[in-house]
C-alpha cells in the first residue's frame, strides 16, 4: 500500500520514533509511507522534537511536494485546506489512502482515510488474490527514487542549463566508471547512439555492416541512415544473439564494422567477434541498449568493443523520464570525434568540419539517470532473482516440456527481458495471459530481413531460420524489479492453466 501520513500521525510517531507502530508499518514490505512537505511546519510546531529527530522520522518515508496547481485546487475548494490538499495529493499521485488520527476530517473528500489501527488491520488481513501483473510498472519505484530525482531536476531547473552542460558531464563520468570504460558521451537516444557511433567509425555509403536480424529496428535502421548496407547473420538458438561462426563468410572488402546486440540483457559471444574484427580491421560497435550492467567473462557490456551504445528509454533497466542514450569508448580519438558529431560536427562552435547532427542529451534526462544509477545494482540483482524464481516455478509446475527457459550462458545476464520460447502456441498463450491481466510482449514478431522497408536488401523468408523461428516462438514475461513473488506465482499458475487446463 502507498499511504500519505497526516501530520497528526507524524506528531504521534515522533514521541517514540523507534517504537512507533505507524513507522514500523511503513518499514515493512508492502507498505510505503509518504509525507507532504507542507506537513513539516505543523510537525515542528506541534512537538518538542528537534529538527534532527524530524529528519530521522522522514528517513524511512518519502516526501511529496505539491505543485502550485495542487495548492490552487485545494484553495478553490470549500473544505478545510490541509485535508483537501492531502486528499488531492493521494488521488493525483495514485496513492491508496491517507492515514490520520481523525478520519472524520476527510469525510466528503472522496479519499480513503484510515486510522493507524485500521491500516494495521488492512496490512494484517490476507492479501487479495493477484489479478493483474503489468509488464512494466515504472511509478512503483517512485517511493525509492522520487526525492533524489526531484533534487537533481530542481538543481537543473534553477540553473537554467538544460542541454549538455555540467549535469550531463557528471552523469557521463559516473556512467563511464560504471561501465568500466574510459569515456562516455550522453546522446539523445539509443538509436542516435548507434548512428553517431557508426558515423564516428567512418561508416558511410558503399560500406557494409554486419549485424543480427533478430533485434529492435534501430540496430539496422541506423546502419541504413549512414548510407551503408546492413548484412544480416543468423542467431544462436539458445542465446538469441548473433552466431559468430556465421560472420566470417559475410565479410567482404566493403565490410567496415560488426554490431553485435546483447539482446534481452545477455552479452553476445564477444571473443570470436573481436578476433574476427581484429583480423579483418573492422570496428566493433556493441548494441548495449538492453544490457547495462551485464558482463562477458568479467567485463561489462559497453567496454568490450570499440564503442558501446546504450539507451535510456524508460523501459530499459536504467531509463530516463523520456528519450536518452549514451556511447562508451576507451579510445580518446573516438571520444573526441563523438563529442564533435553530437553538436552538428562543430568545433569550435559554428565552425563545421564534418557533418554531424543534433545528438545532444537533455540535462533533465541525465538527472534522472544519475539519480536512478544509485539503485541500478540493487534492481539488477532483483531482476536476476526474479529470473531464478521463474526458472524454479516453471520447473516445479512441470512446464519445461511446453516452454523453453532462457539460460544464462554468459553471466552476468541482467534480464532486461525474461523471454520464453512457447512453440507453436505462443500467440494463443499471449492472448490467454493478456485476458488474465498479465502483460507480456513479443520482442520481436518480424525479423528485420523481412521488414517491408528493407525489401531492397534482397532477403527472403528462409534466409535466417533461427531468427524467423525465434520471432514465431518467443514471449517476454514481466520481470522488472517491481514484480514480486506472488505476481510471479500468478503468472506461472496461468501458464500452467493454459497448457494443462484448470
Instruction: List contacts with ligand PLP (CB under 6 A).
Output: 189-191, 215-216, 218-219, 261, 287, 289-290, 311, 313, 323, 325
- Closer by beta carbon to ligand PLP, 66 or else 320: 320
Please identify, using beta-carbon distances, which residue of 261 and 334 lies nearer to ligand PLP: 261
- Comparing CB distances to ligand PLP, the nearer of 219 and 303 is 219
C-alpha separations of 435 from 403, 438, 440 in Å: 19, 7, 11
Sheet (strand 2-5) strand order: 62-64, 32-36, 2-5, 97-99, 113-114
- Cβ 191 to ligand PLP shortest distance, Å: 3
Maximum separation of any 2 CA atoms in the chain, in Å: 79
The residue of the chain with the least Cβ separation from ligand PLP equals 190
Residue 77 CB, shortest distance to ligand PLP, in Å, is 42
Q: Which of residues 186 and 190 has its CB atom nearest to ligand PLP in the complex?
A: 190
| Whole-angstrom distance, CA of residue 432 vs CA of residue 420 | 15
Q: 15: part of which helix (H) or strand (E)? A: none
Judged by CB, which is closer to ligand PLP: 308, or 478? 308
C-alpha cell of 179? 561501465
Opening angle at CA 291, ends 216 and 437, nearest 5: 65
Shortest Å, Cβ 406 to ligand PLP: 16
Classified as helix, coil or strand, 457 is helix
**Minimal distance, residue 288 CB to ligand PLP, in Å:** 8
Nearer to ligand PLP, 216 or 335 (CB): 216
Least distance (Å) between residue 176 CB and ligand PLP: 19
Q: Which residue lies nearer to ligand PLP by CB, 66 or 478?
A: 478
Between CA 274 and CA 332 the distance in angstroms is 19
| Ordered strands of the 208-211 beta sheet | 183-187, 325-329, 307-311, 283-287, 255-259, 208-211, 229-232
Shortest Cβ distance from residue 263 to ligand PLP (Å)?
7
- Residue 53 CB, nearest approach to ligand PLP (Å): 44
Of the candidates 34, 150, 154, 10, which has an alpha carbon nearest to the alpha carbon of residue 92? 34
3-state helix, strand and coil shares in percent for the chain, rounded to the nearest 5 = 45, 15, 40
Choice between 4 and 369, CB closer to ligand PLP: 369
For residue 276 the three cell numbers come to 574476427
Nearer to ligand PLP, 215 or 239 (CB): 215
Q: Which is nearer to ligand PLP, 191 or 294 (CB)?
A: 191
Cell numbers 507498505: residue: 31
Could you tell me whether strands 255-259 and 208-211 are parallel, antiparallel, or unpaired per DSSP bridges? parallel
Grid coordinates belonging to 385: 532473482
Least separation in angstroms between CB 195 and ligand PLP: 9
Question: What is the helix (H) or strand (E) element at residue 187, kind and residue range?
Answer: strand 183-187
To the nearest whole angstrom, how small is the minimum distance from the Cβ of residue 150 to ligand PLP? 23
Q: Residue 404 CB, nearest distance to ligand PLP (Å)? A: 21
> Which residues have CB under 8 Å from 264's CB, separation 6+?
240, 290, 406, 413, 415, 416, 417, 418, 419, 443, 476
d(CA 422, CA 17) in angstroms, rounded, equals 51
Amino acid at each position: 500500500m502507498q499511504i500519505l501520513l497526516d501530520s497528526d500521525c507524524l506528531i504521534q510517531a515522533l514521541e517514540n520514533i523507534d517504537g512507533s507502530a505507524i513507522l514500523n508499518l511503513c518499514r515493512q514490505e508492502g507498505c510505503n509511507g509518504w509525507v507532504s512537505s507542507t506537513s513539516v511546519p505543523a510537525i515542528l510546531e506541534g512537538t518538542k522534537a528537534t529538527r534532527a529527530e524530524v529528519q530521522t522520522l522522514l528517513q524511512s518515508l518519502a516526501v511529496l511536494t505539491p505543485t502550485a496547481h495542487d495548492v490552487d485546487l485545494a484553495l478553490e475548494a470549500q473544505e478545510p485546506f490541509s485535508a483537501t490538499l492531502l486528499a488531492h495529493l493521494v488521488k493525483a499521485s495514485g496513492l491508496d489512502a491517507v492515514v490520520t488520527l481523525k478520519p472524520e476530517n476527510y469525510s466528503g473528500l472522496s479519499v480513503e482515510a484510515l486510522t493507524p489501527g485500521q491500516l494495521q488491520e488492512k496490512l494484517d488481513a490476507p492479501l487479495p488474490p493477484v489479478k493483474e501483473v503489468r509488464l512494466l510498472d515504472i511509478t512503483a519505484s517512485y517511493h525509492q527514487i522520487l526525492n533524489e530525482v526531484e533534487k537533481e531536476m530542481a538543481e537543473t531547473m534553477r540553473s537554467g542549463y538544460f542541454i549538455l552542460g555540467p549535469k550531463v558531464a557528471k552523469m557521463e563520468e559516473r556512467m563511464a566508471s560504471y561501465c568500466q570504460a574510459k569515456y562516455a558521451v550522453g546522446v539523445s537516444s539509443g538509436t542516435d547512439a548507434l548512428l553517431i557511433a557508426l558515423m564516428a567509425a567512418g561508416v558511410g555509403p558503399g560500406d557494409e555492416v554486419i549485424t543480427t536480424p533478430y533485434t529492435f529496428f534501430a540496430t539496422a535502421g541506423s546502419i541504413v541512415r549512414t548510407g551503408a548496407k546492413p548484412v544480416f547473420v543468423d542467431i544462436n538458438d539458445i542465446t538469441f544473439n548473433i552466431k559468430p561462426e556465421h560472420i566470417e563468410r559475410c565479410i567482404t572488402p566493403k565490410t567496415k564494422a560488426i554490431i553485435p546486440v546483447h539482446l534481452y540483457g545477455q552479452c553476445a559471444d564477444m571473443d570470436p567477434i573481436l578476433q574476427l574484427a581484429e583480423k579483418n580491421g573492422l570496428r566493433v560497435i556493441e548494441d548495449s541498449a538492453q544490457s547495462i550492467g551485464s558482463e562477458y567473462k568479467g567485463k561489462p557490456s559497453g567496454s568490450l568493443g570499440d564503442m558501446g551504445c546504450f539507451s535510456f528509454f524508460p523501459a530499459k533497466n536504467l531509463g530516463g523520464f523520456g528519450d536518452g542514450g549514451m556511447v562508451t569508448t576507451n579510445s580518446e580519438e573516438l571520444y573526441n570525434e563523438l563529442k564533435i558529431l553530437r553538436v552538428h560536427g562543430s568545433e569550435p562552435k559554428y565552425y563545421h568540419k564534418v557533418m554531424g547532427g543534433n545528438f545532444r542529451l537533455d540535462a533533465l534526462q541525465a538527472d534522472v539517470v544519475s539519480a536512478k544509477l544509485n539503485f541500478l545494482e540493487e534492481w539488477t540483482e532483483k531482476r536476476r532473482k526474479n529470473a531464478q524464481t521463474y526458472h524454479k516455478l516453471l520447473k516445479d509446475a512441470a512446464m519445461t516440456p511446453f516452454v523453453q527457459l532462457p539460460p544464462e550462458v554468459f553471466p552476468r545476464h541482467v534480464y532486461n527481458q525474461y523471454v520464453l520460447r512457447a512453440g507453436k502456441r505462443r500467440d494463443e498463450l499471449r492472448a490467454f495471459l493478456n485476458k488474465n491481466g498479465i502483460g507480456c510482449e513479443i520482442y520481436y514478431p518480424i525479423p528485420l530481413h523481412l521488414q517491408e522497408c528493407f525489401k531492397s536488401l534482397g532477403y527472403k523468408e528462409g534466409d535466417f531460420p533461427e531468427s524467423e523461428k525465434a520471432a514465431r516462438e518467443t514471449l517476454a514475461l514481466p520481470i522488472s524489479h517491481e514484480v514480486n513473488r506472488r505476481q510471479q506465482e500468478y503468472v506461472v499458475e496461468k501458464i500452467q492453466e493454459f497448457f494443462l487446463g484448470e
